[in-house]
Amino acid sequence: MKRRIAVLGATGSIGRQAIEVIEAHPDLELAAATSGSTPIDGLAPVTQVGGDATDVLEQTEPDVVLNAIVGFAGIHATLWALERGVTLALANKESLVAAGELAREAWARGGGLLLPVDSEHSAAFQLLGDMPRDQVRGLVLTASGGPFRGRSRDELEDVTPADALAHPTWHMGPKITIDSATLANKGLELIEAHFLFDLPYDAIEVVVHPTSVVHAIVRLRDGASLAHLGYPDMRVPISFALTHPGREATPLPQLDFAGLRLEFHEPDLETFPLLALAREAGERGGTYPCVFNAANEVAVEAFLQGRIRFLDIDGAVADALARVDGAPARDVDELVEADRSARNLVAVA
């Protein structure tokens, strides 16, 4: 029996690489594909452009949902899979960040597998395995630092979207690439890790590691640390999630250790305040992470369209967070409303 995969966001960076992985494995089958607006006729037996991706999921009942939609728009598909216990290969970190406890409750009810596709979280998932949690002291997420690593705020005054889109180690969609340049991406990942692994925020660290070879490190109580290494290529975590627990081969070369330089630095929270803002939003809980995400999505879009400066992004997010009460959402309707009203608060129109 082939494993039937629904690829949501099939035209994006992750979606296209996922289809490459599926095509390389005879045991995997592309059952359905969706996009936001790009035509995808004939890409899969069932396709949908725009609308609610859960319509396609209801229709095709896949074995695995690969959610590679960008942004809060992926929320319904994430909750659909978690609630039903359908294996969820999750690239769309924004949905887990925004839904938080609601997603964890749906996951507990559904009882299915949630396999992270984010490379750091895939690494952490593999490192943590079934290890008893009292042996774990903490998780270290690595950040490349993005294209502006080492710069001061003064030096970022006039950077353009094209400058920010030139990521040194990963080739990704525009939204996550800007998030990597501001470190908002690592902030989202911090919150994502909290909800995925049920770790308190003070047990999750971020270190800058410019070559993105070490993806995550788990600190253990006996003083040992376990690290996950590999060349930065999303086909590895995608393949891990889609072929789990089989861990099939990928076209990636084995690491050349003699050629590796492993450097680690503290993140610069003054130049890139979104990482600290995300941590604060996560610690405050409720809908603060949802508001952080919504405001960031609006601000990033405005920056990409040339309506605000790079350095205005964090201010827009801080301002939105300061203007909400962060009351928890009791259901998905309240969550959608929190997202919508946060978007309206962002003064970048």
Q: How far apart are CA 160 and CA 181, in angstroms?
A: 11
Closest separation in Å from C-beta 252 to ligand NAP: 14
Structure token digits, residue 9: 């966001």
Does 121 engage in binding with ligand NAP (CB under 6 A)?
Answer: no
Window 186-225: contact mask with ligand NAP (x via CB under 6 A): ----------------------------------------
Q: Are 142 and 215 in contact (CB under 8 A)?
A: yes
Binding-site size, ligand NAP (CB under 6 A)? 27
Which of 167-177 are b and which e, b meaning 16 or more Cβ less than 10 Å from the residue's Cβ? bebbebbbbbb
The end-to-end CA distance of the chain, in Å, is: 51
Does 76 engage in binding with ligand NAP (CB under 6 A)?
Answer: no
Does 78 engage in binding with ligand NAP (CB under 6 A)?
Answer: no
Looking at residue 50, the DSSP 8-state letter turns out to be S
Closest separation in Å from C-beta 107 to ligand NAP: 18
Q: Which is nearer to ligand NAP, 12 or 100 (CB)?
A: 12
**Sole window of 9-17, 157-165, 203-211, 215-223 interacting with ligand NAP (rule: CB under 6 A):** 9-17
**Sole window of 31-39, 160-168, 246-254, 288-296 interacting with ligand NAP (rule: CB under 6 A):** 31-39
Q: Return the residues of window 123-182 that contact ligand NAP according to CB under 6 A.
A: 170, 172-176
**Sole window of 21-29, 35-43, 104-112, 335-343 interacting with ligand NAP (rule: CB under 6 A):** 35-43
- Cβ contacts of residue 1 below 8 Å, gap of 6+? none
Window 228-247: contact mask with ligand NAP (x via CB under 6 A): ------x-------------
Structure token digits, residue 210: 């410019």
Q: Which is nearer to ligand NAP, 136 or 195 (CB)?
A: 195
Q: How far apart are CA 223 and CA 290, in angstroms?
A: 35
Q: Choose, by CB under 6 A, the member of 5, 6, 9, 297 that binds ligand NAP.
A: 9
- Cβ contacts of residue 52 below 8 Å, gap of 6+? 76
Name the maximum alpha-carbon separation found in the chain.
58
Lookup result for tokens 């979104």: 274
Burial class (CB in 10 A: 0-12, 13-18, 19+), 200: exposed
Q: Which is nearer to ligand NAP, 87 or 92 (CB)?
A: 92
- Cβ contacts of residue 17 below 8 Å, gap of 6+? 234, 235, 238
Cis, bond preceding 245 (omega within 30 deg of 0): yes
Closest separation in Å from C-beta 276 to ligand NAP: 20
Q: Return the residues of window 292-321 that contact ligand NAP according to CB under 6 A.
A: none
Instruction: Please report, as ranges, the residues that interact with ligand NAP according to CB under 6 A.
Output: 9-15, 35-38, 68-70, 73, 91-94, 118, 170, 172-176, 234
